Structure 1
Amino acid sequence: MNQSAPPPYRRIAAVIRARVDAGELAPGDRVPSTRRITQEWGVAMATATKALVALRQEGVVRVVPGVGTVVAEPADRAGTPEAAPYMPAGAEPEGTPRGRRPREADGALTRERIVRAGIGVADAEGLRALSMRRVAAVFGVSSMALYRHVAGKDELVMLMADAAFAEVRTPDPAPADWRDRMEAGARLQWALYRRHPWLAPYLSISRPQPMGRAMALIEWTMARVEGVDPVTLLHMAVTLLNHVRATAAGFEDDLEAEQHTGMDRDQWMAAMEPAYERILRSGAYPMYAKMDGVEGDAVTLDSLFEFGLARLLDGMSMVVEGRSPGRIP
């Protein structure tokens, strides 16, 4: 046996990377799914997953919830400075002797690096996979080493969410019209939740987390609305936030479903098609039956976001213009 031969997942990642470098796969193109990799290379699902994770680590690909794993733009391939490299659960850095794990010197662990590592885990595996032990494994240390910098998982996730909102860059100059400003704020949130699928489900409307950076984005979004009372203004802000957040929660659902089933959304829908056809043949669902023959996806997370955003702003224009009493007591 050739001890120097790279493991199968590395060989698969190298082939896909070569396709990207050769231009066979352009930025935005979908790369082979885990199921396609298992079929094409005859490997286990875990090996296929590790291959895609390795490519994500290198910045060659990125996950777009609702779409799948696609080739990253060249500008996105520089990686995140000061962030610990993401490693899948149970993986060890290359060059680690068998039976030993690298240990991060205490002085090299910082709150910022821990937060960035947590974001890497949550982005790749979902928030349910996040734990202090899981993040500690990224650095090759015990979970106790993290507690010197972070009080626990609750504080870690709060810090991760705050760090994610710090990525938002509002346009300068800002839209002057109230509707354009609210639409721009909603789109900034949508893009943020797409980059970090775990973030939208984490946020709470009934028990909002005290995060200054998130509050600052909402302040910016509502800054041009005038002529309504403060309570109505807050209702408008939270209603808009909740539409974006609730719709974007599907990003993490899709990410976790693909990991558990090995099927992307298109594959899953194709697998469910016979069951839907049996239901529709009953004749009891005429609204759904009218969609027969419609090309492509009629309803997606993006279409729900766009449709709901436009209708919300239409309704809010009546409040701003004084044609509706606004808040209902």
Structure 2
Amino acid sequence: MIRSAASAEPPYLRIVGEIRRRIAAGELAPGDRVPSTRGITQEFGVAMATATKALTTLRQEGLVQALAGIGTVVAERGPHSSPPAARAAQPARPVRQPRPARPSDGELTRERIVLAAIAIADAEGLQAASMRRVAAELGVAAMALYRHVPGKDELVVLMADEAAGRAELPEPGPSGWRDRLEQGTRLQWEMYRRHPWLAQVMSTTRPPLVPNAMAVVEWSMRALDHLDPADMIHVAVTMVNYARGTAVNLEAEAEAEHATGITSQQYLDANDAAMRAIVASGRFPMYSSLAGRHDLEISLDTIFEFGLRRLLDGIEVFVTR
């Protein structure tokens, strides 16, 4: 069977060509977010590895760049960049450009691998931080990573430990148990805020061995060491579970916003009329009472603040019982 040239073209090159076309045509301007790996899998019907390879190729061409906390965006065009029309005329295949010399295995370290993986996960989500993708960012062969990290699972644990290690534990810290427990839980929330993917890694039922995260919990519970050990660990896990349980929404929201280009507030605004029609039925008096309350703000931060105070109130009753 004779295949046409188009059908023989690798899928990732078709994706590269289409995104390159959108950039050249001005549909995607410098600073605009391009489809994430998940967005590409949904739009083009390809595997995650193919989506990752397409974005890696676009980065190697200098057309896109990954920004922490934002995602992959169209790179700013320098004064010597080709005009859009010239880029549109280029064939849909990678432009071979000189690449920096690959670091030798002696220059490649576990720390560099972990930091590169965290940067990718912060910008595009945990799923994007594959071993192949990290290797591409570092300019090395994927197999070189395995000399320093056994695999993706071990890499994720190292990433979590590095992220948790960035929390600054004040010493001596608050002496009162409530202030100390509150501050420790806030430190956990701030970790998830900086690294939304981290909530996927941590677990209450199968906790990964992350010493730096354990240190935050240990610091938080220091003023409650007069409790029975069983009660003490239940208080600790309850607070850990609360912070993580609220934070699992962060990564999902970031991915949804990246894929759709719509913020959570824009989503709520777009569904406002439909929501009003539902509450107008009279079946939902609580929701009806909120109509027109422009002073009301509900976000993950306000939910975290409200819940944290109520949890501490309940623990205070238990501790002073």
Task: Give the alignment's TM-score, normalised by structure 2.
Answer: 0.71
Q: Is the 8 A contact 1:115 1:159 kept in 2?
A: yes
Asked if 1:228 is matched to 2:210, the reply is no
Structure 2 residue corresponding to 1:104, chosen from 102, 105, 117: 102
Does the 8 A contact of 2:176 with 2:223 survive in 1? yes
Kept after mapping to 1: 8 A contact 2:66/2:72: no
Distance 1:248 1:46 in 2: 31
- Alpha-carbon distance between aligned partners in 1 of 2:72 and 2:109, rounded to the nearest angstrom: 21
Amino acid at match of 1:279: I
Q: Find the aligned partners of 1:117 and 1:250 in 2 and give their Cα distance.
A: 24
Structure-2 residue corresponding to 1:4: none
Q: Which position in structure 1 is the counterpart of 2:307?
A: 308
Moved more, 98-107 or 261-270: 98-107
User: Secondary structure of the residue that 1:119 maps to in structure 2?
Assistant: helix
Q: Which has the larger radius of gyration?
A: 2
AA paired with 1:229? D
Is 1:132–1:146's contact at 8 Å kept on the other side of the alignment? Answer: yes
Tell me: CA distance 1:279–1:142, structure 2 relative to 1, closer, same or farther (3 Å): farther
Partner of 1:180: 179
Per-residue CA deviations over 1:211-258 (Å, capped at 9, x if unaligned) read 111111101000001442100110000001111111111111111111
Please report how far the alpha carbon of residue 102 of structure 1 lies from its aligned counterpart in structure 2 after TM superposition.
4.1
- With over 3 angstroms needed to count, the CA separation of the structure-2 counterparts of 1:290 and 1:90, relative to structure 1, is closer
Structure 2 portions without partners, runs of 5+: 1-21, 35-61, 81-93
Once the two structures are TM-superposed, the CA of residue 283 in structure 1 deviates from its matched residue by 2.2
Q: Distance in 2 between matches of 1:90 and 1:147?
A: 31
Q: 2:33 touches 2:74 (CA, 8 Å); kept in 1? A: no
Which structure 2 residues correspond to residues 90-239 of structure 1 after superposition, within 5 A? 98-100=95-97, 101-106=99-104, 107-239=106-238
Query: How far apart are 1:176 and its partner, in Å?
Result: 0.3
Correspondence 1:53-64 to 2 at 5 A: 54=65, 56=67, 63=69
Residue deviations 1:33-59 (CA, integer Å, cap 9, x gap): xxxxx9xx95338961169x8594xxx
Structure 1 stretches of 4+ with a deviation exceeding 3 A read: 53-56, 87-91, 100-103
Relative distance call for 1:262 and 1:297 in structure 2 (3 A) is farther
SS, match of residue 108 in structure 1:
coil
Q: Say whether residues 1:278 and 2:277 are aligned partners.
A: yes
CA separation in 1, counterparts of 2:26 and 2:292? 36
Residues in 1 aligned to 2:316 and 2:31: alpha-carbon distance in whole angstroms: 53
Contact 1:201 1:246 (C-alpha < 8 Å) held by counterparts: no
Match of 2:44 in 1: none
Name the CA shift for 1:276/1:128 in 2 (closer, same or farther; >3 Å): farther
Q: Distance in 1 between matches of 2:113 and 2:293?
A: 47
Displacement after TM superposition at 1:289 (Å):
1.4
* Equivalent residues, number: 252
Q: Residues 260 and 319 of structure 1: is their aligned pair in 2 closer, same or farther, counting only changes over 3 Å?
A: same
Deviation track 1:121-146 (CA, whole Å, cap 9, x = no partner) reads 11011112221111112123332121
Distance in 2 of aligned mates of 1:261 and 1:129: 18
| CA apart distance, 1:178 | 0.5
Q: Is the 8 A contact 1:89 1:134 kept in 2?
A: no
Per-residue CA distance 1:162-208 (angstroms, 9 max, x = gap) = 00111011123310000000001011111111000111221000011
Looking at structure 1, the residues matched to 166 and 214 of structure 2 have their Cα atoms a distance apart, in angstroms, of 14
CA distance 1:44–1:249, shift in 2 (3 Å): same
Do the aligned residues in 2 keep the contact of 1:166 with 1:213 (CA within 8 Å)?
yes
Measured after TM superposition, the shift of residue 274 of structure 1 is 2.6
Equivalent pairs: percent with the same residue?
A: 48
Q: d(CA) in 1 for partners of 2:137 and 2:131?
A: 10
Whether the 8 Å contact between 2:29 and 2:74 is mirrored in structure 1 is no
Alpha-carbon RMSD: 2.9
Question: Per the alignment, in what secondary structure is the counterpart of residue 48 of structure 1?
Answer: coil
Please give the TM-score of this superposition, normalised by the length of structure 1.
Answer: 0.70
